[in-house]
Amino acid sequence: MIRLVDGPMTWVATGDSITQGVLHTHGARGWVEHLQERVRWQLGRLTDTVVNSGVSAWGAVDVLAAHDRLIGRFEPDVLSVSLGTNDCLAGEEGLPEFHDAMRRIVSGAGPRTQVVLQTPALVGVSGRERRAALPAYCQAVRDIAQDTGSLLVDHEAHWREHHGEADPIPWLDDPVHPNAVGHLRMANHTLDALGLGPLDPL
In which band, very low, low, confident or very high, does the pLDDT at 78 lie, cut at 50, 70 and 90? Answer: very high
Non-local CB neighbours of 144 within 8 Å, separated by 6+ positions: 99, 102, 103, 106, 117, 150
Output the pLDDT for position 181. 98
Considering the entire predicted model, what is its pTM? 0.97
For the chain, give the mean pLDDT. Answer: 97
Contact 16, 3 (CB under 8 A): no
Q: What is the mean pLDDT of residues 115-131?
A: 97
* Distance of alpha carbon 162 from alpha carbon 187, whole angstroms: 15
Backbone angles phi, psi at 114, to 5 degrees: -90, 115
Examine the pLDDT at 55 and tell me if it is beyond 80.
yes
Task: Give the pLDDT confidence of 152-178 residue by residue, as tens digits.
Answer: 999 999 999 999 999 999 999 999 999
Contact 25, 183 (CB under 8 A): yes
Task: Give the pLDDT confidence of 1-41 residue by residue, as tens digits.
Answer: 999 999 999 999 999 999 999 999 999 999 999 999 999 99
Output the pLDDT for position 201. 81
* Distance of alpha carbon 119 from alpha carbon 137, whole angstroms: 8
